[in-house]
Amino acid sequence: MELEDWMEFYREILSDFNFSKEEDERAAVIMYSLAREKLMDSLILDSRIRDKDVIVIGSALKEKDFEVIENFEGVRITAGKSIYPLRKILPDFLPDIHVTDLEEEYELLADLQYRNCILVLHAHGDNIDRIYSLIPRLKFFVGTTQSIPFDKLYNFGGFTDGDRAACLAKHFGAKSITLVGFDFERAEGIKKKKLIWAKKILEFEKVI
């Protein structure tokens, strides 16, 4: 997704949820100030994704999805809390890339890093406490913001962990993108509202 296209979505999302652009930008500055030399160049994502088949794994997983994931021979990208049911059913599962706004436990994220999974960590106004808590303890990662990117804080588009992961795969030239564990109906309240936007973004990107 081109940045100008994303910013159109972003302005509407800010209005719809009454989010603060200033807080999003503050979160990005805090992440940058805490990480600095730990921020990875996005070229590492290009080298893993370009011209490869990619599967993006959301958290609404059904029983049949686990066999698909286990047998997939391309690049495997997990989104947020999808890693928990995957680890439960497939204990040795290791994604190539994990995209998250930092809701997971430190021990899990540190283990992914240790095993050579690239973490793509997202800063927004509602996770500043998590940024302060986790970023000093983690090692190298790719940082993202949902507002204006700067230096090594990138913006590839996307709102929730799932559609952000898919936008990332498309941005870096995936040969194909398969989605599993995406259910835009199975939610209520603000989560349902977020999924409506996720679906709009994926439709715009022609991923679904």
Q: Which residues contact 57 (CB under 8 A, 6 or more apart)?
A: 65, 69, 76, 77, 78, 79, 82, 86, 95, 180, 181
Parent domain of 37: 3-204
What pLDDT digit, counting tens, does each position of 64-92 carry?
999 999 999 999 999 999 999 999 999 99
Alpha carbon distance 134, 34 (integer Å): 10
pLDDT for 91 equals 93
CA dihedral of 150, 154, 160, 162, whole degrees rounded to 10: 180
pTM metric for this prediction: 0.97
Alpha carbon distance 98, 147 (integer Å): 20
How many independent structural domains does the chain possess? Answer: 1
The answer to whether 184 touches 57, Cβ cutoff 8 Å, is no
What pLDDT digit, counting tens, does each position of 162-200 carry?
999 999 999 999 999 999 999 998 888 999 999 999 999
- Say what percent of the chain tops pLDDT 70: 100
Confidence of residue 43 (pLDDT cuts 50, 70, 90): very high
